[in-house]
Amino acid sequence: MQSRHAISTVEDYEPFIGQQAVERILAKGRKLSGRSIAHVNSTYFGGGVAEILSSLTLLMRALGLDAEWRAIQGPPDFFSITKKMHNALQGEPIRLTDIKKEIYEDIAFQNAIRNRFDHDYVVVHDPQPLPLVEFSRKRGPWIWRCHVDMAHPSRDIWEYLAGYIEQYDAMIVSAEEYRQPWRLPQRVFQPAIDPFSIINRELPEGEVDRRLRHYGVPLDLPLVVQVSRFDRWKDPHGVIRAFQIARRVKDCTLVLVGNVATDDPEGPAVYESLLREKEERVLILSGEDTSFVNALQRRAAVVLQKSLREGFGLTVAEAMWKRTPVIGGNVGGIRYQIEDGVNGFLVSSVEETADRLVRLLSDEQLRRRMGEAARETVRQRFLMTRYLEQYLDLMDGFET
């Protein structure tokens, strides 16, 4: 029986990247065919890393690599500590007591015992599974891939994590300024999106309408949308304030869609604080249905990503791919995704956000022009094949 299930292949990207690029990537893949690679992170659901790994590992498999994805397990107190580390990497002070270090290290040790990481390459994502390197027998290169905005990290956290990081053979960060003054080789890979995933694939207008109606989204006024994990770094309260100011000039509906990643214990409190806002024309909805996220990003007049820190905003690239203009926080990786005034706007305050919102909502031509430029930016720079190729080059560069 023929299966109707299929995974995307590099060849599927041909309409977007051209035949030459497809052949170049296939040739690089042939060279590494059969090599084993494990990606290790801390959640199978919620957040950009899980989203990337679900596509990247399949694309690697389609290319003939023996690619695996493992998520480490841990109790809530472990994830509470690792979230504090994440916040410290983004600049917040941290008090790392001995007991916190002990829990962090113990859980990593248990995961190293529970799993065998005997792959030709191991890629460890973010701080949660970082100490695995100390407790595993390395068979090939280990790479630490940090997705966090590390433009202004707290020094205390570096001093502690450096002991682990220095055991890696390479480190990947998402922007030039996240490089650290260590001797291990560091590469800059910006993340990318999968145009065939449920979040990004084409949706007929009728389906978009159905999804939005199903969740009770009113369609009488233009939609302003932010899709984000419930996380204070995404500044959802700032989004509501900007919306309130903009609405006085140009009426619209705000839809804040969010979810909680299993490795982020701060999410529920942020969600509850939003429910207390009770603002007219503001909807706060769950974004666990990714075709709903897709529909919203397509139908929105404007997408916001008003982050205060952002390693790289997948949601920014997702909306841009759908030709929707994005107003993004002028921070971290977003500054490399949006060229201010060309394919979107970069903002540094609530007032600026409100001002750009009014400009976009009042000018359909501008929305269309920015949306087209945004689509082209993603086509050229932020599709998964580019990211895949960077990994292939990195793997090939190691002598194994």
Binding site for ligand UDP (CB under 6 A): 47-48, 51, 199, 227-229, 257-259, 287, 290, 293, 313-315, 318
Give dist(CA 182, CA 188) in Å, integer.
15
Q: What are the angstrom distances between the C-alpha of 159 and each of 27, 85, 169, 227?
A: 41, 12, 18, 34
Nearer to ligand UDP, 169 or 289 (CB): 289
Nearby residues of 66 by Cβ (< 8 Å), 6 or more positions away: 34, 35, 36, 37, 119
Q: What is the CA radius of gyration of the chain?
A: 21
Return the exposure string of 237-259: e unless at least 16 CB atoms fall within 10 Å of the residue's CB, then b: bbbbbbbbebbeebebbbbbbbb
Nearer to ligand UDP, 270 or 293 (CB): 293
Residue 5 φ then ψ, to 5°: -95, 135
Beta carbon of residue 380, minimum distance to ligand UDP (angstroms, whole number): 19
Beta carbon of residue 246, minimum distance to ligand UDP (angstroms, whole number): 22
- Token readout for 346 is 């970069």
Beta carbon of residue 347, minimum distance to ligand UDP (angstroms, whole number): 17
Q: Single out the residue of 343, 378, 50, 371 nearest to residue 195, CA to CA.
A: 378
- Token readout for 66 is 């023996």
Instruction: Name the residue number minimizing CB distance to ligand UDP.
Output: 287
Nearer to ligand UDP, 22 or 192 (CB): 192
Beta carbon of residue 314, minimum distance to ligand UDP (angstroms, whole number): 3
Nearer to ligand UDP, 265 or 287 (CB): 287
Nearer to ligand UDP, 65 or 316 (CB): 316
Beta carbon of residue 338, minimum distance to ligand UDP (angstroms, whole number): 13
Q: What are the angstrom distances between the C-alpha of 293 and each of 53, 161, 196, 297, 379?
A: 19, 35, 14, 6, 20
Nearer to ligand UDP, 91 or 185 (CB): 91
112, 135 contact by CB (below 8 A) = yes
Q: Which DSSP symbol is given to 46?
A: S
Q: Single out the residue of 120, 292, 319 nearest to residue 210, CA to CA.
A: 292
Beta carbon of residue 398, minimum distance to ligand UDP (angstroms, whole number): 27
CA angle 56, 337, 86 (to 5 degrees): 65
Q: Distance between the two ends of the chain, CA-based, in angstroms?
A: 40
Beta carbon of residue 287, minimum distance to ligand UDP (angstroms, whole number): 2
Nearer to ligand UDP, 47 or 127 (CB): 47
Give dist(CA 362, CA 135) in Å, integer.
57
Nearer to ligand UDP, 117 or 271 (CB): 271
Residue 158: Cβ within 10 Å count: 16
Beta carbon of residue 151, minimum distance to ligand UDP (angstroms, whole number): 15
Nearer to ligand UDP, 326 or 357 (CB): 326
Beta carbon of residue 400, minimum distance to ligand UDP (angstroms, whole number): 30
